[in-house]
Structure 1
Amino acid sequence: MAHGQGVGVCLAATSPLVFCQPTTLCNLDCAYCYLPERTTARRMTVEVAAAVAAAVSGWSRLHPVRVLWHGGEPLATGLEHFSALLDKFGPGRPHPVRHAVQTNATLIDDAWCEMLAERGVEVTVSIDGPGADNAQRPDRSGRSSTGRTLAGIGRLRAHGIPFGGIAVVSDPTPVAAERLYGFVRDLGVRALGVNLAEHKGAHRRPGPRAGAADFWAALAGAWRADPAVPIRDFDQAFGYLRDELAGTAESRAGRPFSPLPLITWDGDVVPLSPDLAGFSSPRHGPFTAGNLRDAPLDTLLARAPDLPWVREALDGITNCRTTCDHFAYCRGGQAANKYFETGRLDTTVTDHCNSSKIQLMEGLLRHARPDHRPHSQDPPGTQGPGPQP
């Protein structure tokens, strides 16, 4: 079931994942944060939540749907208000509508744990590693947040609530990779996602990143030595490699694109590339497809491919498909990375796709080569960047 297209690119009519922004406020002041309104306390109304619930309940007839509450800091909306938002969602039909929250865990206490466990809300905690590796996540007074995050994790563990981890890595070195993996393994993280700090939104990181393949290779080595924690980024790469071996990579490349919409606190709908929420283009205006006050989510998504900025983003995916050998793997990247790095949505290669996709694959493939040696045994001058597209 799909609608609309750029040249050769179809946007699916529904999505297995919907992002919701319960509040714009965050109680931390991370150095790499890209969000534009994180110092302002604006909360999603229950009416907006009800409008989202009406759409995803219908989608759950077709496939499972997960609602990811993503801020700001979602728990900054308050326990009572967050519960009221969840109340607007039924169980789904016939598939259950699942809920997940991405949090810095500093606000988690026993009451939060009881609610999360009762509602079956999946939890992912943002923490970048031990000691100085987490130093770019201070609170608004400049104080370290690490102790409070670890305390929140301790409450989750005490209540038997499994949790995933998201780490943002600003200095991707082999030593940092090994340190990160050992840290999350010892924390009991059930799965890890790794984001290299990006040039995106309010955060400006100068220049392309060299040597990311060394980081990914070291992370793969640590994981292979003790595969206790699944790594999201490797699972995605292995999925592509399985398709290549099975001869189905071409069909993978041709699947309709899930829009992955984000619903902002006030009901604006960002139909694709959620990190564009809250931003505007001088050429296109706000990166939205409209507001839930004016039309249902299904209608706004159906109209999205007619919007100039969405057409430009779909053209960017088409351009990737026709020019990049890695398309079946990354399927065109994210429009937000293209826009914040280049000012356009229809470009192709970005620093993000090079460091987080191409060099990631290079790092993984080092372990598949017969002559592979651990990074510490590589002779000087052999740890260069991965291949360019």
Structure 2
Amino acid sequence: MRQFVLKVHSRCDLACDHCYVYEHADQSWRTRPKVISDETVSWTAMRIAEHVKAHALDRVHVVLHGGEPLLAGPDRLERVAAELRGHLDGICALDLRVHTNGVLLDERFCEVFAAHGVKVGVSLDGDRAANDRHRRFADGRSSHDLVLRAVELLRARPQLYAGLLCTVDVANDPVAVYRALTALEPPRIDFLLPHATWDTPPPRPAPTAYADWLIEIFEIWAADGGAPPVRMFESILSTSRGGSSLTESLGLQPSDLVVIETDGSYEQADSLKTAFDGAPATGLHVLRDTLDEVARHTGVLARQQGLAGLCGQCRACPVVDSCGGGLYAHRHRRGSGFANPSVYCADLLKLITHIRARTPEPTHALPSAALGALASGFGGGDEVGHLAESQRSLRRALLAAVNAELGPDGGEGAGPMVRRAWELITGLDGTHPGAVEAVLAHPYVRVWAAECLRDGRHAGHLANVAAAAAVRAGVTAALDVRVLGGAVHLPSLGALEVDPAGAGRTARPETGPAAHPAGRTARLEVSGGRIALDGGADLDPRACGEWPGWHPVRRLSAGGLSVALEDTDPFRDCHQWPAAGRLTGDRASAWQRAFAEAWALIESELPAYAPGLRAGLSVLTPLAPAPGGREVSSTARHAFGAVAAALPDDPATLALLVVHEFQHVKLGAVLDILDLYDEGDTRLFYAPWRDDPRPLEGLLQGTYAHIAVTDFWRVRRHAGPGRAEAQFARWRRDTAEAIETLAASGALTPLGGRFVTEMRRSVAAWLDEPVSEAAEAEAARSARVHRERWTAAVSPQV
């Protein structure tokens, strides 16, 4: 169980006539304490913690709920939050939220929520007319103005603002409702179908009135680029593409939610209160029973059977993977229980079918929430995972293009090599897909494919790709492979030297770019993961270390993260600075020491970047030292997952280079699938960190990367005053200036405008942080000198 609804107060200050707690079949609220006790809270926190430890959960979600949770008062809610944090912080991530009608929200509550990291979701049904149709006080007074006041408090504190929850009423104007909600800039909108069953069906002026209402909103939402995120729509899109749902009301994933009432009783999803009296009850209690016992309850198990738990009509439905039978409570009918389709079956079928037809999947897309997280300059494992998946498809498309365009003749006489390699790769993809993916994921495979398609050279390297996959799969194969720079290179594994006559392994592989002459071929035999070149002695590239003539790809490890130290691949020399040659053992050890210290610094001082790096960083490529000991680093547009750098003397500098360059990796992947600017715009712009004028994409890339640079110095300045403080002062100033240049360019697409707005939000928050007058003066002086020098040198070009 990963989601917990904690009822902190069982009464409410509004009298909403569509409320499932007070207006439907289950009336157990009448016999429960108004307010949860401290003892019950403590036991709840302990039960969740023991469940987390027993199942090694990395994250749980807790929602403080009611009734109206704010009736519990700020002091009690502070104790609740502190108790939960005290038991769970350090053993798992806690996503702590409160769902409120907003009427009582004030500064004191906001202070409590900010102190304990509690995000706030507010119930609001739209404009005044829509909201006041149901959400009134018992005496008939409107709640609208008070709710708007609450939302404004949250808009001023975006770190607290979780979103808006809107119950659908088809008597309301959907466009007016949607526009009223989006005007409040919610991070997310939840549209909730009103709770109903077959015995008490919802008002229905037309057979698919709810679908028609939501489709009107979907069309506007899609035209606006999918912003703000709407959980229902994003869940349908996700499940239509094989992903998971974001809500329990859709999809086939097992329910993992438990409700704890104010008296400590465990209940199933409280939407079941609409079915019949006692429907959500389990008979279990937090003082007596563990969450494992709740998980074994028959009612809970019934909501964890996926497709097998649905009635025959649902199992045969073409949209069942998205619908999932709808919300469990909405299936209820006297006599047949929950073995029915949803009472909204016709609506869900029409809505899902419409969204699928309206949004085919010609390309990868980023969920709006993921795009927002990345645009802020951050983005965790899930967000970078979306980018990695799009890169996976792109790499495969490029390989298919190499086969289609060069397989017939292949240039350089490589046609037969390409065709044989393609047959081996496609065969292995069916039998050993993990082995194929491990090779294709190597960043320089895409670099090779892009170069090959551009100039037709090195098509035979596809055979080396196939051979590497065969080694990883442990199969038997024999094929001709390409020799480049005196060696046979197996992507992701290493390089095997050959002499000019092909009889030995004495020639050291060259380290220049992939512009080497195509070279000759060599016969490579693969069996059981071992390789033999032209009949010579064999070896296992997966297991052996250095061996005469064999140079394996080494790995760097730190904090559970392992990345390749790539100094063998001939296509790695695609960066702004030249790649280093094969490292000596001592130099490789120096990289390991520096990487371990740099990663420890990232995890301790820049933890927001660590999950994204874990999900996307796969290769570090050593660069040749720059003249004068200058610090150099780079990424290549086609090398997703790779960061290149000359090893700096200071591990903190390596940490900075890694987080800085990985910003380029992320943004490059975003630009592979989304249009953020007009590519026809050829103007050049001033960038405060460059001596040359930059095209729009270059300015966007540099600005995005300098969000991380600014954040690095923002954090590091607390280690002591001086250079770090001045660096923070300068880069926040210059990054903010560059963001405004982008925003004013007139060349951003609507999606690009949203992206830059999120960049601005991150940097704007840092502009208010205090720095010393000396640091501010030094930042202003540095910026002025750079601008004056740039203007004198290059402004006539712009």
Task: Tell me the TM-score normalised to structure 2 length.
Answer: 0.39
In structure 2, the partner of 1:64 is 59
Which residue of the partner structure matches residue 3 of structure 1? none
Map 1:1-389 onto structure 2 (within 5 A): 15-36=1-22, 42-60=34-52, 61-89=56-84, 90=86, 91-135=88-132, 136-160=134-158, 161-171=160-170, 176-199=173-196, 205-206=202-203, 209-226=207-224, 227-243=226-242, 257-271=254-268, 273-276=269-272, 287-302=281-296, 304-305=297-298, 309=299, 317-319=309-311, 322-339=315-332, 341-342=333-334, 344-355=336-347, 357-368=348-359
Tell me if the contact between 2:3 and 2:62 (Cα under 8 Å) persists in the aligned partners. yes
Q: Give SS of 1:88's match.
A: helix
SS at match of 2:311: helix
The Cα of 1:201 is off from its aligned counterpart by 12
For 2:293 and 2:262, locate their aligned partners in 1 and report how far apart those are by CA, in whole Å.
19
* Sequence identity (%): 23
| Compared CA separation, residues 172 and 342, structure 1 to 2 (3 A) | farther
Contact 1:32–1:203 (CA under 8 A) maintained in structure 2: no
Alpha carbons of structure 1 residues 104 and 200: separation in structure 2 relative to 1, 3 Å: farther
Check the 8 A contact 1:172/1:212 in 2, yes or no.
no
Question: Distance between the aligned counterparts of 1:254 and 1:151, measured in 2?
Answer: 38
Report the 3-state secondary structure (helix = DSSP H, G, I; strand = E; otherwise coil) of the residue aligned with 1:124.
strand
How many residue pairs match? The answer is 337
Unaligned runs of 5+ in 1: 1-14, 247-251, 370-389
In 2, Cα distance between equivalents of 1:172 and 1:241: 29
Question: For residues 76 and 260 of structure 2, what CA distance do their matches in structure 1 show?
Answer: 17
Paired residues of 1:25 and 1:41 also in contact (CA < 8 A): no
Q: Secondary structure at the match of 1:98?
A: strand
Q: Distance in 2 between matches of 1:343 and 1:125?
A: 37
Query: What CA distance in whole angstroms lies between the structure 1 residues aligned with 2:280 and 2:157?
Result: 42
Match of 2:604 in 1: none
Amino acid at match of 1:345: G
Task: Write the deviation string for residues 178-227 of structure 1: whole angstroms up to 9, x where unpaired.
Answer: 22221122111110010122326998635685333322221111112223
What CA distance in whole angstroms lies between the structure 2 residues aligned with 1:132 and 1:165?
A: 17
Query: Whole-Å Cα distance in 2 between the matches of residues 180 and 209 of structure 1?
Result: 21
Q: CA deviation at 1:300?
A: 3.0
Amino acid at match of 1:150: L
Q: Over residues 136-185 of structure 1, what are the superposed CA-to-partner deviations in whole Å (9 max), with x where a residue is unaligned?
A: 10012110000110111122223343230110111167xx2222221122
User: Does the 8 A contact of 1:19 with 1:67 survive in 2?
Assistant: yes
- Any stretches of 5+ residues in structure 2 without a counterpart? 245-249, 361-798
The CA deviation at 1:333 is 3.2
Q: Which of the pair has the greater relative contact order for Cα pairs under 8 Å at 6+ separation? A: 1
Rate the CA distance shift 1:269–1:324 in 2: closer, same or farther, 3 A.
Answer: farther
Q: 1:228 to 1:300 in 2, by over 3 A?
A: closer
Aligned-partner Cα distance in 1 for 2:199–2:15: 12
Separation of aligned partners in 2, 1:170 and 1:155:
27
Q: Which has the larger share of helix?
A: 2
SS across alignment from 1:351:
coil
CA shift in 2, pair 1:105/1:311, >3 Å: closer
| Counterparts in 2 of 1:344 and 1:76: CA distance versus 1, 3 Å | farther
The match for 1:384 is: none
Distance across 2 between alignment mates of 1:228 and 1:345: 38
The one-letter code sitting in structure 2 at the alignment partner of 1:288 is: T
Report SS of the residue matched to 1:20.
Answer: strand
How has the CA–CA distance of structure 1 residues 228 and 280 changed in structure 2, closer, same or farther, with 3 Å as cutoff? closer
> How big is each residue's C-alpha offset from its partner over 1:76-135, in whole Å with a ceiling of 9 and x where there is no partner?
111111222222213444322221111111100000111111111111110000121111
Q: CA 1:108 to 1:202, structure 2 compared with 1: closer, same or farther past 3 Å?
A: farther
**What code does the residue aligned with 2:21 have?**
L
Answer whether contact 2:47 2:286 (CA < 8 A) is retained.
Answer: no
Which secondary structure does the structure 1 equivalent of 2:122 belong to? strand
In the alignment, the residues of structure 1 paired with residue 161 and residue 304 of structure 2 have an alpha-carbon distance, to the nearest angstrom, of 37
**TM-score, normalising length from structure 1?**
0.76
1 CA distance for matches of 2:117 and 2:103? 20
Give the 3 Å change call, closer, same or farther, for CA 95–202 of structure 1 in structure 2: farther
Change in CA separation of 1:253 and 1:111 when aligned onto 2, cut-off 3 Å: closer
Q: Could you tell which deviates more after superposition, 178-187 or 49-58? A: 49-58
